[in-house]
Structure 1
Amino acid sequence: MGTTTFRAEDVYREELAKIGAEDGRVVCVEALPPRARHPFETAHPDRFFQLGSVEGAMVSMVEGLVTAGFRVFVCGLGPGTDSGAARSPLLTLAYLEAGASVVVPDTQACSAELLRTSRVRIAVPSGVQEIRAVVRGAARAVRPYHIRIGSGAPVDLTAHWTGAGDGDIPAVVWDLGEDLGLHEDAGVCMVSVGEDGTRLALAVRERSAEPAHAHLVYLDDSHLAAAAGELARRYDRFVVLGGHRGPGGVSQRLSRLMPGCAVQETSMSGELTADVDRVLSAVRRLRP
């Protein structure tokens, strides 16, 4: 695979195909029309279902597979917004309530209904290592996962932290590109979510050593509460990069969980240099 076409969603598809070879209970359901042959379909054609535009009528099929003991992944990654379980919050919730894990673009926000569904684990991995670990965790878990994956090249923190490999990812992944202790007096910490937020945070750290960098992968209530406790023990001012705005966004949820802390979020234009300047300006405003 050429570097120009390597995407985060490719990591998911290839990893799921590997897991399918290890566990015959894993089933892949694609909720968008086919673009190219799926690696899971190539390796395990009897456990691959391409639903295309008719997937709205297939929730009961997924529920039956889950009841029969299969570990079902419903995926709606890829271009187009016409239909697809990943594109419809109501269908997403229906598949999750049926017991399937759902993989969607990271542009989809968490609905209030999803956040109230306590048994669902919400993950927004960034980079190859995190995507693989999250997908493997979902294949092992009894509870369904709501996994949001970026559409571009994966952004890894593996050069900056000692990761969990194939194991569990901690509530907070600290960027250890430099000694964390150097940043504690500054009191300002970036919190990155998803591929775009992580890419921006790493670019900021290349320009300035002042703001610390904490990275979040799991955003369900239990994980975010644990993350908030760990963050607040180290810092009291935060700039959130990535995630979504509004009541279900990471910034507002962290603000509620850390009432004594200042939590700001920055918009991202997609122009990296301008976005880095915007983050550094926010950091300067938060200085004591």
Structure 2
Amino acid sequence: MSETQTGGADLASAPEAWLRENPKLSNRQIFRHALARFAEQDARLVLLEADLGGGGDPFEARHKGRYFNLGICEATMLDMACGMAHVGHVVFAHTFAPFGAMRACEQVRLGMAYPRANVKLVCDYGGVSGAFFGPTHHAIEDLAILRAMPGMTVFSPADGLETILATREMIHHDGPVYMRLGRNRVSRLEAPREGFALGRALCLREGTGVGLIAHGEIGVSVALEAARLLEGQGVSARVVNLHTLKPLDEAAILETAERTRLLVTVEEHNILGGLGGAVCETVCAHGPARQVLRIGIQDRYDPLAGSHESLLLGHGLEGAAVAERILGTLSRPQ
């Protein structure tokens, strides 16, 4: 199915039905369709991209006067986005995560975050999803950098439905937002999303032994698989989708700490500075005292290109590996 053949359901009013009609779209493709549909409802929306257009992109095809491809000029794209935001547009800037969050970091900091510009930076290739391009195209530090910027909202959706719901919420949120997406993985969760809101975590599974806290299409799927495997070993696991890393739902973290005896963070990001760091900060600041096992990118760059799955396996980001680490931690004397 091409990006322009999307069936009969309306994405805006019936996103679940629309997703069922489009089962092969990745989150980054879903974002494009969502923004194009919401732009029909809101004339303020514009989309800027850094050399990502073409190929039947739905926004470019349906809203030519509100679409600008800046080429491989991420800093210029952010400068232009911030300027357009200051005259009343709701601006989405779309590029690869390593370039939007790091190459254009000064523009994000001084143009978006400092003046609280109404710009939504949406970046693909989060984590190591740009695997075969090598570390120049990996983004394992982006969440640590951007959640440290005052005023930023930082979001990492777990599947296609969350991508649609978050895109709609970002339009109505006044201020700078960073939404992190992957590359080509197709992600669909069965969990209901009633009452979805930026900044409010979702409990996807109840449990009392271990608290798995995750974000993103890799982190949440791996956490759910690990919880299923742990159940077979007699270990009850709670799974929390902490999709918004800033503002952080500290109450959800503390509730999970109260209900379980081990906290485990799962994310496709460096174990330093991302979700793992945020959970450790929260527990240390507020209690209760809990050991936190941080699972993610193991503070190293991958010097060799490879498949996305092979790089994830190399960092232990796989359900069986996570379950094994948890069992090993629980077996050690406290």
Determine if the alignment matches structure 1 residue 265 to structure 2 residue 265: no
Q: Does the 8 A contact of 2:226 with 2:322 survive in 1?
A: yes
Q: Which runs of 4+ in 1 moved over 6 A?
A: none
Shift of 1:19: 0.8
Amino acid at match of 1:85: G
Tell me which moved more, 37-46 or 247-256: 247-256
Does the residue aligned with 1:76 lie in a helix, a strand or coil?
strand
TM-score by length of 1: 0.83
TM-score by length of 2: 0.73
Q: How many residues align?
A: 273
Q: How does 1:1-288 map to 2 (within 5 A)?
A: 1=1, 6-77=25-96, 84-86=99-101, 88=103, 89-94=105-110, 96-97=112-113, 98-105=117-124, 106-107=126-127, 108=139, 109-110=141-142, 114-157=146-189, 159-160=190-191, 162-164=192-194, 167-169=196-198, 171-176=200-205, 180=206, 183-184=207-208, 186=209, 188-209=210-231, 210-220=236-246, 222-259=247-284, 260-267=289-296, 269-271=311-313, 275-287=318-330
Shift of 1:11: 0.6
Does the residue aligned with 1:102 lie in a helix, a strand or coil?
strand
Shift of 1:228: 2.3
Q: Closer, same or farther in 2 for the Cα pair 1:194/1:55, shift >3 Å?
A: closer
Does the residue aligned with 1:15 lie in a helix, a strand or coil?
helix
Q: Closer, same or farther in 2 for the Cα pair 1:249/1:113, shift >3 Å?
A: closer
Shift of 1:170: 6.0
CA distance in 2, matches of 1:164, 1:5: 24
Q: Does the 8 A contact of 2:214 with 2:265 survive in 1?
A: yes
Q: Closer, same or farther in 2 for the Cα pair 1:249/1:85, shift >3 Å?
A: closer
CA distance in 2, matches of 1:31, 1:226: 38
Amino acid at match of 2:243: V
1:115-141 CA-partner distances (Å, limit 9, x unpaired): 332321100001111101111111111
Does the residue aligned with 2:100 lie in a helix, a strand or coil?
coil
CA distance in 2, matches of 1:208, 1:60: 48
Does the residue aligned with 1:53 lie in a helix, a strand or coil?
coil
Q: Does the 8 A contact of 2:101 with 2:108 survive in 1?
A: yes
Amino acid at match of 2:225: A
Q: Does the 8 A contact of 2:212 with 2:239 survive in 1?
A: yes
Q: Closer, same or farther in 2 for the Cα pair 1:169/1:65, shift >3 Å?
A: closer
Amino acid at match of 1:173: L
1:92-115 CA-partner distances (Å, limit 9, x unpaired): 435533431101132233365533
Q: Does the 8 A contact of 1:243 with 1:250 survive in 2?
A: no
Shift of 1:274: 8.3
Does the residue aligned with 2:154 lie in a helix, a strand or coil?
strand
CA distance in 2, matches of 1:164, 1:125: 15
Amino acid at match of 1:215: N
Does the residue aligned with 2:47 lie in a helix, a strand or coil?
strand
Does the residue aligned with 2:123 lie in a helix, a strand or coil?
strand
Q: Closer, same or farther in 2 for the Cα pair 1:90/1:32, shift >3 Å?
A: farther
Amino acid at match of 1:265: R
Amino acid at match of 1:211: A
